[in-house]
Amino acid sequence: MESGNLGKAFNDGDVIIRQGDEGDCMYVIQSGAVEVVRHVDGKDVPIATRSEGEFFGEMSIFEREVRMATVRARGPVRVITVDKKNLMKRIQEDPSLAFRLLQTMSQRLRELSGEVAHRKSR
Amino acid sequence: MKKDNFTEAFGKADTDSESALTGGFELTDGSRVAVLGGGPAGSFFSYFLLDIAGRVGFVPQVDIFEKRIFSKVGAVGCNMCGGIISESLVQTLAAEGITLPPTIVERGIDSYILHMDVGSTRIDTPLQEKRIAAVHRGAGPKDSTGTRWGSFDGFLLDMAKAKGANHLQGQVTDISLVDGKPVLSVKGGESKQYDLLAVCVGVNTPTLKHFAELPIDYTPPKTSKTFISEFYLGEETVGKYLGSSMHVFLMNIPRVEFAALIPKGDYVTFCMLGEDIDDDLVRRLLETDQVKQCLPPGWEIPKVYCHCSPKINVKGAHPPFADRLVFIGDCGATRLYKDGIGAAYRTAKAAAATAALHGVAAADFRKHFMPVCTSIERDNLIGKFIFGFNRRINKLEQDRKGILGMVLHEQEKPTRPKRMSMVMWDTFTGSASYGDILLRTMHPAFLFGLVRHIVSSFLNPKNFNGRKG
Ligand SMILES: Cc1cc2nc3c(=O)[nH]c(=O)nc-3n(C[C@H](O)[C@H](O)[C@H](O)COP(=O)(O)OP(=O)(O)OC[C@H]3O[C@@H](n4cnc5c(N)ncnc54)[C@H](O)[C@@H]3O)c2cc1C
């Protein structure tokens, strides 16, 4: 059923987006998993993993900043690129399309606040 | 209709939620929603209604009536279509969290090959990524024993069921309004009243005539006859001869707006759209060298093969709503010739959001659902102009050579702006609105390029004969 694979294929370790690059799209994982790492003080710090059905790179849809982390394939992975312009046009017609993006971003923010609070309390 | 299925499901639902039938126009917990037709429009509507209602905190009871059996091969499981899921829909669904698995997608498409009598050329997706999906709507053509891939419509229906919709297998035979509320009847005589009826029956059904008999103001869509056939080649041969490209034919044949060969798993789908396509026209196109060169040497039209002549919506219904009634997908408004499934998604989502967040009165649909239908219909007017212009330009060989020349020139170097290539890409794949496409053709650089290539084809006619990119 290889012929029915959608998106672009990456191999283990391939960089899909690089911290500091400009971005005008987000990605949805069709199959496999990716690792999100942030380059701090010369070191790569893993901050999250994302798997099938999840998205990454969504910040560039809402702001015009450079990519804040590098995303690498963890094993073979396929991703679908979602263009900013296409998504913005759809959101303009149907704001509820943003529900899921906002829900996931709010969940990620919640996790992050939990983590910060945990660290501060130590 | 399986009587047991209906009686069991509705008998139970009747006692559970009789009191939930509301008098007002707002849906609440237990409100009854009938979805007539479980094609893309019906499944998307059910899925998003349950999704949005869940987010704002209520659970309607959603019953989907579908007469087809999507797990079966041939007509009984098939909603007759080219099976292209457009680039923009694949992306939007991905953003919705709906990824199409390789068990449903028979081929990922990353390019198309434009064939004209003056030559052919290949145009790749802007990102060289497989973002177009080729699917079968049912379980496969009638001469197959079932393909290894699942039905696209079955996949969407399962998704709606997983969200909580009830699926009732069978045909609705009568629709009436009692005290302003829709009542559906099925074979065997059972009937049930609803707070809302979402009509998602498409245009290939006699069911639409029931709505003409209701005391509502509804003019059904205008339609035209098309043609689709499925040819078995085997997965390897499909890959070898057609690859992951859709093959589009722009020929000077009257009444044909668009013809394409779409590679699937073991089959290739041949699809013709235009004005009342008939057998002669089909044969004429299938026997051209341009079509034959895409297929294995010596290929002949088989004596027996799966084919059909479904109708296509060429002008939307008006108005596509009434109190407690909304017409979604093909039986309401859809895009002219392209991305009908994408239009089913857009209208379904707009109707679901209206019903869940605002209400089910005609005024609610007019305010929140109609703008989407109007925007589709307005864009179709531009689409008609583009297809008309295309038809004209296709009549003159020098113009065809000009178009091909411009695409070939753009494809020669990756750095060259792909103005004509992208206009062609978006026109044939349905990836952008017709308005968007028209705007781009008005760009001075586009017009200059086209004129330059037409003039050059006049001056050097030999350059073009049979050129391939
Ligand atoms: C030749 C051709 C090629 C096309 N190619 C493409 C393409 O490549 N890509 C694309 O996006 N679009 C394409 N389209 C358009 C696409 O097929 C439609 O836009 C799409 O199917 C609309 O979905 P729908 O749910 O509105 O209607 P339908 O798909 O027609 O679904 C209606 C459903 O209602 C059910 N139903 C009807 N009456 C009853 C009843 N009384 N009781 C119970 N169930 C009932 C039917 O069984 C059916 O399942 C093509 C159309 C044609 C004609």
pLDDT for B349-373, tens place per residue? 999 999 999 999 999 999 999 999 9
Question: Which stretch of B160-164, B208-212, B455-459, B463-467 has the lowest confidence by average pLDDT?
Answer: B463-467
Min Cα separation B66/chain A (Å): 27
Give the Å distance between the CA of B263 and the centre of ligand 1: 20
Residue B12 identity: K
Contact B180, B325 (CB under 8 A): no
In this complex, do B107 and A3 lie within 8 Å of one another by their Cβ atoms?
Answer: yes
| Interface predicted TM-score (ipTM) of this complex, two decimals | 0.93
Token pair, residue B51, equals 């999704």
Total domains in the fold of chain A: 1
Min Cα separation B8/chain A (Å): 35
Confidence band for B2, pLDDT divided at 50, 70 and 90: very low
How many whole angstroms separate alpha carbon B469 and alpha carbon B467?
7
Give the Å distance between the CA of B450 and the centre of ligand 1: 37
Assigned domain for A1 exists: no
Scanning A12-83, the segments in alpha helix (DSSP H) are 59-62
Q: At residue B15, does pLDDT exceed 70?
A: no
In this complex, do B92 and A97 lie within 8 Å of one another by their Cβ atoms?
Answer: yes
DSSP-derived letter for residue B199 is E
CA-based angle B407:B286:B126, to the nearest 5? 30
The pLDDT of residue A31: 94
Which residue does chain A place closest to B352, by CA atoms? A96
B100-135 as b/e: b if 16+ CB within 10 A: bbbebbbbbbbbbbbbbbbbbbbbbbbeebbbbbbb
Residue B113 identity: I
The pLDDT of residue B127: 78
Q: At residue B43, does pLDDT exceed 80?
A: yes
How many whole angstroms separate alpha carbon B138 and alpha carbon B67?
13
Assigned domain for A40 exists: yes
How many whole angstroms separate alpha carbon B121 and alpha carbon B113?
6
The pLDDT of residue B463: 62
Residue B99 identity: T
Q: In a mutagenesis test of the B interface, which of A3, A83, A89 is the best target, namely the one with the most B β-carbons within 10 Å?
A: A3
The pLDDT of residue B175: 96
Give the Å distance between the CA of B114 and the centre of ligand 1: 26
Question: Which residue from B52, B55, B108 is facing A6, i.e. has the nearest CB?
Answer: B108
Assigned domain for A2 exists: no
The pLDDT of residue B23: 65
CATH number reported for the structural domain that contains residue A113 in this entry:
2.60.120.10
Confidence band for B468, pLDDT divided at 50, 70 and 90: low
Per-residue three-class SS string for B248-261 = EECCCCCCEEEEEE
Instruction: Report long-range pairs for B433-437 (Cβ below 8 Å, ≥24 apart).
Output: B433/B379, B433/B382, B434/B336, B434/B379, B434/B380, B434/B382, B434/B383, B434/B385, B434/B386, B435/B378, B435/B379, B435/B382, B437/B382, B437/B386
The pLDDT of residue A61: 87
Contact A50, A56 (CB under 8 A): yes
Question: Which residue from B95, B127, B128 is facing A87, i.e. has the nearest CB?
Answer: B95
Q: Where do we find the tokens 């709507």?
A: B137
The pLDDT of residue B460: 78
Confidence band for B4, pLDDT divided at 50, 70 and 90: very low
Q: At residue B418, does pLDDT exceed 60?
A: yes
Give the Å distance between the CA of B299 and the centre of ligand 1: 30
Q: Which residues contact B367 (CB under 8 A, 6 or more apart)?
A: B354, B358
Confidence band for B18, pLDDT divided at 50, 70 and 90: very low
Which residue does chain B place closest to A96, by CA atoms? B353
In this complex, do B95 and A97 lie within 8 Å of one another by their Cβ atoms?
Answer: yes
**Ligand 1 lining (C-beta closer than 6 Å):** B 37-42, 65-68, 79, 81-84, 171-172, 200-202, 204-205, 207, 226, 228, 271, 273, 310, 312, 329-330, 334, 339-342, 344
Q: What is the mean pLDDT of residues B87-100?
A: 95
* Mean predicted lDDT score pLDDT of chain B: 90
Residues on chain A touching B128 (C-beta within 8 angstroms): 8
The pLDDT of residue B397: 84
Q: Which of A78, A63, A84 is nearest to A29 (CA)?
A: A78
How many whole angstroms separate alpha carbon A80 and alpha carbon A8?
6
Chain A residues with CB within 8 Å of chain B CB: 1-8, 26, 28-30, 52-53, 55, 80-83, 86-87, 90, 93-94, 96-97, 99-101
In this complex, do B100 and A6 lie within 8 Å of one another by their Cβ atoms?
Answer: yes
In this complex, do B127 and A82 lie within 8 Å of one another by their Cβ atoms?
Answer: no
* Mean predicted lDDT score pLDDT of chain A: 92
In tens, the pLDDT along A81-121 reads: 999 999 999 999 999 999 889 999 999 899 889 888 988 88
Token pair, residue B336, equals 């002219």
Confidence band for B176, pLDDT divided at 50, 70 and 90: very high
Q: Which residues contact B62 (CB under 8 A, 6 or more apart)?
A: B33, B35, B46, B49, B50, B160, B164, B165, B166
Closest residue by CA, ligand 1 atom 29: B39
In this complex, do B265 and A3 lie within 8 Å of one another by their Cβ atoms?
Answer: yes
**Ligand 1 atom with least separation from CA of B340:** 19
The pLDDT of residue B462: 66
Closest residue by CA, ligand 1 atom 22: B330
**Ligand 1 atom with least separation from CA of B273:** 1
In tens, the pLDDT along B318-352 reads: 999 999 999 999 999 999 999 999 999 999 999 99
Question: Which stretch of B8-17, B42-51, B295-304, B318-327 has the lowest confidence by average pLDDT?
Answer: B8-17
Q: At residue B388, does pLDDT exceed 50?
A: yes
DSSP-derived letter for residue B312 is E
Q: What is the mean pLDDT of residues B31-37?
A: 98
Assigned domain for A3 exists: no
Q: At residue B81, does pLDDT exceed 60?
A: yes
| A63 vs B166: which has the higher pLDDT | B166
Q: At residue A78, does pLDDT exceed 60?
A: yes
Residue contacts between A and B (CB atoms, under 8 Å): 103
In this complex, do B130 and A94 lie within 8 Å of one another by their Cβ atoms?
Answer: no
Between the two ends of chain B, the Cα-to-Cα distance in Å is 53
Assigned domain for A63 exists: yes
How many whole angstroms separate alpha carbon B147 and alpha carbon B73?
8
φ and ψ of B125, to 5 deg: -60, 150
**Ligand 1 atom with least separation from CA of B204:** 30
Assigned domain for A67 exists: yes
Domain that holds residue A19: 8-120
How many whole angstroms separate alpha carbon B33 and alpha carbon B55?
17
Confidence band for B73, pLDDT divided at 50, 70 and 90: very high
Q: At residue B266, does pLDDT exceed 70?
A: yes
Question: Which residue from A6, A29, A53 is facing B130, i.e. has the nearest CB?
Answer: A6
Confidence band for B85, pLDDT divided at 50, 70 and 90: very high
Min Cα separation A102/chain B (Å): 11
In B125-255, beta strands by DSSP E? 132-134, 166-169, 172-178, 181-186, 191-193, 196-199, 222-225, 227-232, 245-249
Residues on chain A touching B350 (C-beta within 8 angstroms): 94
Min Cα separation B352/chain A (Å): 11
Assigned domain for A39 exists: yes
Closest residue by CA, ligand 1 atom 42: B171
Q: Where do we find the tokens 């009542």?
A: B183
Q: What is the mean pLDDT of residues A23-47?
A: 94
Question: Which stretch of B84-93, B236-245, B333-342, B391-400 has the lowest confidence by average pLDDT?
Answer: B391-400
Assigned domain for A112 exists: yes
| B126 vs B268: which has the higher pLDDT | B268
Token pair, residue B263, equals 């590679």
Question: Which residue from B52, B95, B108 is facing A28, i.e. has the nearest CB?
Answer: B95
In this complex, do B55 and A99 lie within 8 Å of one another by their Cβ atoms?
Answer: yes
For residue B124, list its beta bridge partners: B111
Residues on chain B touching A80 (C-beta within 8 angstroms): 90-91, 94, 99, 129, 131
Q: Within 10 Å of residue A20's Cβ, how many Cβ atoms?
A: 11
Q: At residue B14, does pLDDT exceed 60?
A: no
Confidence band for B427, pLDDT divided at 50, 70 and 90: confident
Q: What is the mean pLDDT of residues A35-60?
A: 93
The pLDDT of residue B6: 53
